[in-house]
Structure 1
Amino acid sequence: MEVVILKDAREVGRAAAGVFAALLRRKPDAVLGLATGSSPLPVYDELARLHVEEGLDFSQASGFALDEYVGLPADHPEAYGSVIRRDFASRVNIGPASVHTPDGTAADLEGACAAYEEAIAAAGGVDLQILGIGTDGHIGFNEPGSSLASRTRIKTLTEQTRRDNARFFSSIDEVPHHVVTQGVGTIMEARHVVLVATGAGKADAIHGLVEGPVTAMCVGSVLQFHPHTTVLIDEAAASSLKHAEYYRHVYDNKPRWQDH
Structure 2
Amino acid sequence: MKFIIQDNKEQIAYTAADLVEDAVRQHPTGILGLATGSSPVGTYKELIRRHRKEGLDFSRITTINLDEYVGLDEFHEQSYRHFMNHNLFDHLNINKKNTYVPRGDALNPEEEARHYEELIRRLEPARIQVLGIGVNGHIGFNEPAEDFTVPTHVVTLTRDTIESNARFFDSPMDVPKQAITMGVGGILRAQRILLIATGEGKQQAVKALEDGRILPSNPSTILKVHPDVIVLCDRAAAALLDERTVRQAE
Q: TM-score range with shorter-chain normalisation?
A: over 0.9
Deviation at 1:96, TM superposition (A): 1.1
Residue in 1 that maps onto 2:245: 247
Residue in 2 that maps onto 1:258: none
Contact kept? 1:194, 1:230, Cα under 8 Å:
yes
Contact kept? 1:68, 1:101, Cα under 8 Å:
yes
Q: TM-score, normalised by structure 1?
A: 0.92
- SS of residue paired to 2:210: helix
Deviation at 1:119, TM superposition (A): 1.3
Contact kept? 2:73, 2:103, Cα under 8 Å:
no
Give the unaligned 5+ runs of structure 2.
none
Deviation at 1:94, TM superposition (A): 1.1
Supply the RMSD in Å over aligned alpha carbons. Answer: 1.3
Give me the whole-angstrom Cα distance separating, in 2, the residues matched to 1:231 and 1:93. 29
Residue in 2 that maps onto 1:98: 98
Give the unaligned 5+ runs of structure 1.
253-260
List aligned pairs for 1:47-58, cutoff 5 A. 47-58=47-58
Residue in 1 that maps onto 2:204: 204
List aligned pairs for 1:71-86, cutoff 5 A. 71-86=71-86
Amino acid at match of 1:160: D
List aligned pairs for 1:114-129, cutoff 5 A. 114-129=114-129
Residue in 1 that maps onto 2:24: 24
Residue in 2 that maps onto 1:66: 66
Give me the whole-angstrom Cα distance separating, in 1, the residues matched to 2:27 and 2:8. 29
Identity of aligned residues (%): 38
C-alpha distance 53-146 of structure 1, shift in aligned 2 (>3 A): farther
Amino acid at match of 1:247: T
Deviation at 1:92, TM superposition (A): 1.4
Deviation at 1:108, TM superposition (A): 2.4
Give me the whole-angstrom Cα distance separating, in 2, the residues matched to 1:192 and 1:111. 28
Contact kept? 1:4, 1:247, Cα under 8 Å:
no
Residue in 1 that maps onto 2:145: 145
Q: Is 1:214 aligned to residue 195 of structure 2?
A: no
Deviation at 1:90, TM superposition (A): 1.1
Deviation at 1:134, TM superposition (A): 0.2
Give me the whole-angstrom Cα distance separating, in 1, the residues matched to 2:208 and 2:247. 21
- SS of residue paired to 1:129: strand
Deviation at 1:121, TM superposition (A): 2.1
Q: TM-score, normalised by structure 2?
A: 0.96
Amino acid at match of 1:57: D
C-alpha distance 250-172 of structure 1, shift in aligned 2 (>3 A): same
Deviation at 1:250, TM superposition (A): 3.2
Q: How many residues align?
A: 250
